[in-house]
Amino acid sequence: MMTHRIFYGVAGEGLRHASRVLSVIGHLPECEIHVFTFGKAYEFFQSLDYPHLHRIDGLMFAYTDGVVNYRKTLSNAVAYYFSGLNENLAYIQAQADLLKPDLFITDFEPAVIRAAHLMKQPVLSIDNQHKFVDCRARSLPTYLQMYAMMTGTSVKTMVPSPTHSVVATFHADRLEAIHDNVTLTGGILRREVEEHEITNDGFVLTYLRKSVSE
């Protein structure tokens, strides 16, 4: 059976993106998936001894005393778009010339999608952020609709014009896709989680960054 090869760009800030990508990879055992990432996500896949892992440059939040420093973060973003992004594109294109991927996927990572566009290849976006671009939330108050519009502008800047978008969210039933090339789905879980026996022992699972204090 022919093995399909995929280039997968993964945002490296935190582990939400990496966890979702690991779940997607688990559902595609017939594919050879090359992960292009940075930061915490790179360390995460490296700790798993993932065999097709590529380190690239990426956008990271800057912190001061455990709080996001927006001035430094903006400075990092400007430096990335004028330097790191071009280096990423050259590397990804060189790897594509060598490995001939069948598909490009991005989880809120801006280099892989741009490389795909340059090579005129189809690219799939799988993330949560595109709900601000491709969906209409039912019955949101006006101020949240304005927030969604502003956030959507930054999402389109990060990940412009995917061929198709999969919006993975825990509240897909409250969203309405406004474009034809959009698929709404629930949270994408690892097979180990899907197959686990459901119990209720009174615990609540929450996701926190290390910067959150005791």
3-state secondary structure of 206: coil
CA atoms within 13 A on the CB side of 19: 12
- Residues, the chain: 214
Which CATH number is associated with domain 4-194? 3.40.50
Judging by DSSP bridges, how do beta strands 103-107 and 4-10 pair with one another? parallel
Tokens of 138: 């039912």
Whole-number pLDDT of residue 36: 98
pLDDT for 131-174, tens place per residue?
Answer: 999 988 767 788 888 888 888 998 999 999 999 999 998 888 88
Whole-number pLDDT of residue 2: 65
Contacts of 144 (CB under 8 A, 6+ apart): 137
Q: What angle do CA 7, 13, 18 make, to 5 degrees?
A: 45
Whole-number pLDDT of residue 17: 93
Per domain, the residue ranges of the chain are: 4-194
Whole-number pLDDT of residue 111: 97
Residues 168, 20: contact at Cβ < 8 Å?
yes
Ranges of the chain with pLDDT below 70 = 1-2, 138, 209-214
Whole-number pLDDT of residue 160: 95
